[in-house]
Amino acid sequence: MEKRLTITVDGPAGSGKSTVSRILAERISYMYLDTGLLYRAIAYKAMQRGISIADDEALRELCDGINIPLEADGDMRVLVDGEDVSGPDFIGTRTEEIGMLASSISAVSAVRDALLPLQRSAGEHGGIVTEGRDMGTVVFPNADVKFFLDADVDERARRRYEQLVENGGNANLDEVKRGLETRDYRDTRRAVAPLKPADDSVIIDTTGIDIEEVVRMMMVIVKERAKGVGAG
């Protein structure tokens, strides 16, 4: 592809955005940035250190300790005070409990302000697929291609449940669904950078569509944009 694009993928938990973003990045040899992991890293450390979500100063200090070293293979790593909290074997940041705390912490302005420049500098040269809740609206408002993925809450709960079981965790489908609904509510209603599609995003409802098909749909749009052919 001719131009190194900035591609954003936003959507609620369980919409499939992490899986498809990673595959898309791999296929086009772009860097992959999972911004949910940054909020999860802060949540994980805050829990370990007993830091309250009301303690803006301590949370900001945690953010200052975050580092995203760029990997040659395009894989993303997140270090907090030198500790790698992102490896495939590191499940501490991937639990539902930490997802829920990350959702609360992500509503704190001091945290969002501190993480903003970090995310922008990771994407400043393009050639990146970046996923989260506010990629197309706040972090990369001038992105070349913006996707918003969504899916029916029952399907999202089922996917999330399967993922948790696959990772060796204990999970209950009803609880997972209730957790997703709570997070959706919080992430869409918060005052700062709430989850919503950017006006110029391509919205894909992934309910009943398999991953390969979603990636294929995205690739068509990405290739058109890379050639400078507008796709809507």
DSSP state of 16: S
From 39, 44, 147, 161, residue interacting with ligand DC (rule: CB under 6 A): 39
When asked if residue 183 is in the footprint of ligand DC (CB under 6 A), the reply is: yes
From 16, 74, 123, 132, residue interacting with ligand DC (rule: CB under 6 A): 132
From 8, 86, 106, 201, residue interacting with ligand DC (rule: CB under 6 A): 106
Q: Whose Cβ is closer to ligand DC: residue 6's or residue 106's?
A: 106
Rounded to a whole number of angstroms, the minimum distance from the CB of residue 132 to ligand DC is: 2
- H-run or E-run covering 7: strand 6-10
Within its chain, how far is the Cα of 198 from the centroid?
15
Taking the alpha carbons at both ends of the chain, their separation in whole angstroms is 19
**174 phi and psi angles, rounded to 5 deg:** -65, -40
Q: Which stretch binds ligand DC (CB under 6 A): 32-40, 71-79, 168-176, 224-232?
A: 32-40
When asked if residue 102 is in the footprint of ligand DC (CB under 6 A), the reply is: yes
CB of 99 closer than 8 Å to CB of 13:
yes
For residue 21, give both structure tokens: 């973003």
SS3 state of residue 130: strand
Please give the residue ranges that form the binding site for ligand DC (CB under 6 A): 13, 35-36, 39-40, 99, 102-103, 106, 132-134, 183, 187
